[in-house]
Chain A
Amino acid sequence: MEWIQQLINGISLGSIYALIALGYTMVYGIIKLINFAHGDVFMIGAFVGFYAIAGWGLGFFPALLLAMAVCAVFGVLIERIAYKRLRNATRIAALITAIGVSLLIEYGFIYVRGAQAAAYPDVLANKNYDLFGIQVSSQSLLILVVSIVLMIILHFVVHRTKIGKAMRAVSHDMEAAQLMGINVNTTISATFAIGSALAGAAGVFFGVYYTKIEPLMGVIPGVKAFVAAVLGGIGIIPGAMVGGLVLGVVETIVSALGFSQWRDAAAFIILILILLFRPSGIFGKNAREKV
């Protein structure tokens, strides 16, 4: 029984990792950039949701949509201001810029708002269902369902729409795509918008589920989501989902075995092992399907 409870704990945690990991993987797939500012977009999403709920009295779903919209715009702005001009620069230059943007967002936000934590308002009445001694909260169920729905929508966008086709084309070969008349700038912006919107959604979920939000809350989940993306195979969308869930469950199992101190270490040991033995991740193939 206890194991099933732990599995549920792990899946809730993992679905948040998965949502953040999707943004990492999409951006990497298309411009080969590890967008370290992604964890901070997640933080901004959490705060937008917070102000929408606590300040303007919006409900959960309007706040979620607002956070996603603001993050989408924010993600595009980051791309346009910081990354666009580095598109032909070395990858290390872009990477360092990403770290710089991340620090700018974190400490800029602290400068404006202060570093103290805030408590998310109780926007979703939380009910605990007792199934044979296992406690399942309605919140964790909702988070799981909404994240799965978002992932399905994403899958549909990437594989069934014109912009999705453009994204896949650009990720495959940017120059050739341009020659075929695809607007590369718009496509990349769209990728950032979608990835950031998902991070914004994850931010609101995080706030609702874990209550505490603060300006540096994006750092650790951001790095964990990066591990999840690498675990699943960076650049591969289903890989990010599976990687996120696996990571969440592994962390929970490590804690459950009584090694809670080693939980973060476990995540990074996974990263090292994956990079050593299977650098392309669980879903990675030699000829990769990208985006």
Chain B
Amino acid sequence: MKKISKLLMTSVLFAGVLAGCASGNETTGGSDGGGDTIKIGANLELSGAVASYGEGIKEGIDLAIEEINAAGGVDGKELEVVPVDNKSEGSEATNAAIKLVNQDKVTAIIGSATSGNTKAQTQIADEGKTILITPSGTADDLTLGTDGNVIDYVFRTSFIDSFQGKVAANFATDLGIKNAAIYADNASDYAKGLAKSFKETFEAAGGKVVAEESYMADDTDFRSTLTNLKSAEPEFIFIPGYYEEVGLIVKQARELGIDVPLMGADGWDSPTLVELAGAENLNNTYITNHYSSGDPDETIQKFVEAFSKKYDGAKPDAFNALGYDSVYLLVDAMDRAGTTTDKEKIKDALAETKDLSLITGKITIDELHNPTKSATVLEYKNGEQVFKSKVNP
């Protein structure tokens, strides 16, 4: 027994040493790659609770960079992505940003996928005078500092929560819903922002919010609260949140006999949602999203084709598209600024982006560094997202 445990200890220690080596190599590899490339950091959720967002964005970034490099790069220089995994945690996102700004000295950081993890690095990017573009951080105040002013170096590619909440509320009103309920994640800025704007818009349109409940991230049992919601007899339930919990909520709601339409936002968008909830339970649910691969628009279909070719026939989801668009948004600003190194000029050019046609819509960056763009409503049918309608701001 003693021998076995000794063996175990040694192997654990040895694994630790190996792990140390691996990460050591990565960093040296990264800093060697300087010179004639333009380095773009990707501070993403490659593992952890929302890994599917981060991985999706990374795939989109890779595709965009491959296309741009194949076409001769920017100003004759190739783009190079430096990915860092923030493990879906705010503190790790901060560390990753510090590494990218100080160690890798990247021109810009794309990331992170969620509002919380993006917020954890806005200050570091701004102090390091490095451009930060979040592909999918949708919290309204993400581009604002603690003093309420716009942070110079922070931008985003996605629309904002209050817009998504409005679209969802209008959609519910159009369905003829009078009584709706809200079931939101109590800790995330994202869910709170959506819930607030949904309620305001829905009530302004004459609807009534009959019940408002909240849940905590990482909960697994929602049955008791859902039983409460059911007894309030809503005709529609708005559930802003992320797919890990929402998947379980949808499943448990259907098991308790709640068969009214359920609606969420871009946080639902993940293949894991379908696995957790079950395709059948997802029928009669809707989400607002950044884009749909089923949109008949020509440029979108071209993107879908290129993506499928690179990733074995996979259909790009919204995170793929946003990651892809973030790179083009940045490159467009570099072109207009006429520089690939002067971060200040690129930042100014980003702020002046106007009518740039991207996959997720025609983007004009406003004075708060938020893009004005359209949203798409999708319906789940047997586990597939089906294009329902497109809503302009």
Contact = CB atoms under 8 A, between A and B. Distances in A.
Contacts of A214: 49
Interface in B212-266: 213-216, 218, 220-221, 223-225, 227-228, 231, 244, 247-248, 251, 255-257
How extensive is the interface on chain B, given as a class?
35 or more
A212 B224 contact: no
Contact of B218 (A128, A135, A137, A220): A220
A115 B214 contact: no
B22 to A, nearest CB: 11
Contact of B244 (A2, A114, A117): A117
A161 interface: no
B272 interface: yes
Contact of B251 (A5, A211, A255, A256): A211
Give the residue among B8, B19, B223, B248 with the most A Cβ atoms within 10 A. B223
B257 A135 contact: yes
Nearest to B216: A261
Contacts of A116: 47-49, 51-52, 272
A260 interface: yes
A256 B49 CA distance: 27
Nearest to A210: B220
A9 B223 CA distance: 6
Contacts of B214: 260-261
Contacts of B386: none
B225 A260 contact: yes
B276 A115 contact: no
Contact of B278 (A122, A130, A212, A251): A122
B255 A135 contact: yes
Interface in B7-30: 8, 12, 15, 19
Contacts of B4: 81
Interface in A1-57: 2, 5-6, 9-10, 12-13
A85 to B, nearest CB: 9
A99 interface: no
A2 B229 CA distance: 11
A217 B216 CA distance: 14
Given A9-B227, A256-B227, A260-B214, A119 B255 contact: no
A253 B223 CA distance: 11
Contacts of A256: 224-225, 227-228
Contacts, number: 97
B392 interface: no
Contact of B227 (A5, A119, A128): A5
A84 B88 CA distance: 37
Nearest to B251: A211
A25 to B, nearest CB: 23
Nearest to A219: B218
A259 to B, nearest CB: 10
Nearest to B187: A261
B5 interface: yes
B272 A119 contact: yes
Contact of B224 (A10, A114, A137, A264): A10
A212 B5 CA distance: 33
A130 B278 CA distance: 21
A147 interface: no
A214 B251 CA distance: 18
A252 interface: yes
Nearest to A12: B223
A275 B227 CA distance: 32
Contacts of A251: 221, 224
Given A9-B223, A116-B52, A210 B255 contact: no
A6 B248 contact: no
Contacts of A104: 12
A119 B214 CA distance: 23
A87 interface: no
Contacts of A253: 224
Contacts of B51: 114-116
Given A114-B51, A220-B218, A260-B213, A119 B224 contact: no
A138 to B, nearest CB: 10
Nearest to B224: A255
Contacts of A137: 255
A181 interface: no
Contact of B255 (A81, A126, A260): A126
B366 interface: no
B149 to A, nearest CB: 33
Contacts of B213: 258, 260
Contact of A212 (B47, B223, B227, B244): B244
Interface string A221-255: 00000000000000000000000000000011101
A115 B220 contact: no
A1 B5 CA distance: 56
A80 interface: yes
A97 B221 CA distance: 31
A264 B215 CA distance: 11
Contact of B276 (A110, A212, A220): A212
B339 interface: no
14 contacts: A9-B223, A104-B12, A110-B47, A115-B49, A117-B272, A135-B256, A135-B257, A206-B220, A210-B248, A212-B247, A212-B276, A260-B214, A261-B186, A261-B214
Interface of A: 2, 5-6, 9-10, 12-13, 80-81, 84, 104, 108, 110-111, 114-117, 119, 122, 126, 128, 130, 135, 137, 206, 210-212, 214, 217, 220, 251-253, 255-256, 258, 260-261, 264
Interface of B: 1, 4-5, 8, 12, 15, 19, 47-49, 51-52, 87-88, 186, 213-216, 218, 220-221, 223-225, 227-228, 231, 244, 247-248, 251, 255-257, 272, 275-276, 278
* Complex A-B, nearest 8 residue pairs according to Cβ-Cβ distance, in ascending order: A119-B275, A255-B224, A9-B223, A210-B220, A252-B224, A116-B51, A81-B5, A119-B276
Given A115-B47, A256-B227, A258-B228, 6 more contacts: A114-B47, A115-B51, A116-B47, A126-B255, A211-B251, A261-B216
